[in-house]
Chains A and B, each alone.
Chain A
Amino acid sequence: MEAIVSYVCDAAFIALLGCCGLCLYRIGRGPTAPDRAMAIDILGIVVVCFTALISVTTGRDIYLTVGIAWALLSFIGAIALAKHLEGKGFDE
């Protein structure tokens, strides 16, 4: 069973690397600014998946704390960019 778990984790790492590549393509290509902001938000959520997988493979739960902090900062950044695009201040 351990071998299957480690095999699935390796495959998941490669698949999530592909997801990050697609997000980076959209960040670089995206014709408008909201496209790039959205792709950065999605990339942040994919990185949370990465931290969860790293904490499974290494057995240390400190990486999940990193994931929680990353999700919080990604959310704040997306909201700030959206408010900026709408032409309002951050606290309105």
Chain B
Amino acid sequence: MSNAIGVAALAIGVLFNIFGCIGLVRFPDIYNRLQAATKCVTIGTCFVLLGAMLLAGSTATTAKCLVCMIFVLVSSPTAAHALARGAHASGVKLWEKSVVDKFDEDGQPGVESGGKK
């Protein structure tokens, strides 16, 4: 039973990873790419680690998978947020069909040289 759930979690996680990486290639600008890739790959990796946890079944593997899962879940959105902020501060333009840039309108607290539209 736990093997079946583990295989299902593994398949779901790998599917999420594939969709995230396709988004990484197909989307038009960096902010869209960050949106697609980070969310999909984070949840996909968490599912793969859940599957590994259920398939291996030993205590040490379970603990390590849990630590790795929590760390990826916390660190990956943080890194994506920092990269989006850094990209905006270094002047990477938005896609020409983007409709709104709230970060630019709000005066960018803490950022000296803003991105120019």
Contacts and interface: CB of A to CB of B under 8 A. Distances in A.
Interface string A12-44: 100110110011011000001111011101100
Given A9-B10, A42-B41, A87-B112, A34 B48 contact: no
> What is the interface residue range for chain B against chain A?
35 or more
Contacts of B86: 34, 37, 81-86
B7 interface: yes
A71 B75 contact: yes
A4 B68 contact: no
Interface of A: 1, 4-5, 8-9, 11-12, 15-16, 18-19, 22-23, 25-26, 32-35, 37-39, 41-42, 45-46, 48-49, 52-53, 55-56, 59, 61, 64-65, 67-68, 71-72, 74-75, 78-79, 81-87
